[in-house]
Amino acid sequence: MAAKGFRGPRQVWNAFLWSMKGLRAGWRHEASFRLEACLAVVLIPLGLWLGRGGLEKFALILAPMLVLSAELLNSAIEAVVDKVSPEFHELAGRAKDMGSAAVFVLLVLVVLSWALILGPRLVV
């Protein structure tokens, strides 16, 4: 008998499948996620190519990945809020706005990290 809390190969596989289901749902139902995913498909290889050394490459690909993660979490918050509170409520609106703000902050991080890392190379 497996110890309580043991996650064997089947549980790990199921967790992977649920994650893929979440990514598909994000792609299918969220236009913002699709747009940001397309941006990440361009920025991540570009960051790997333009970054000098491991830390720069990591910083250039981390920011777009964080945007995708935040967008998925924001979409999850919006879905739960819409399910629990279909009518307008100030707190529901605040939760949605704050989720959106989290994505915005990370988009600013993308711009700042790319500008700070690559900007000095463009100014000669």
Q: Is 30 annotated as a binding residue?
A: yes
Q: Is 96 annotated as a binding residue?
A: yes
Q: Is 27 annotated as a binding residue?
A: yes
Residue with tokens 């279909």: 86
Structure tokens at 22: 């979440």
Q: Is 100 annotated as a binding residue?
A: yes
Q: Per-residue DSSP letters for 69-111? A: HHHHHHHHHHHHHHHH--S--HHHHHHHHHHHHHHHHHHHHHH
Helix, strand or coil for residue 51? Answer: coil
Give the DSSP letter of residue 5: T
Q: Is 26 annotated as a binding residue?
A: yes
Q: Is 87 annotated as a binding residue?
A: yes
| Alpha-carbon Rg for the chain in angstroms | 18
Q: Which of 36, 56, 71, 90 is catalytic?
A: 71
Distance (Å, whole) CA 30 – CA 24 = 10
Q: Is 18 annotated as a binding residue?
A: no
Q: Is 114 annotated as a binding residue?
A: no
Mark whether 36 is an active-site residue.
no
- Binding-site residues from annotation for substrate: 24-27, 71, 100
- Binding-site residues from annotation for ATP: 30, 78, 87-89, 96-97
- Binding-site residues from annotation: 24-27, 30, 71, 78, 87-89, 96-97, 100
Catalytic residue positions?
Answer: 71
- Binding-site residues from annotation for a divalent metal cation: 30, 78
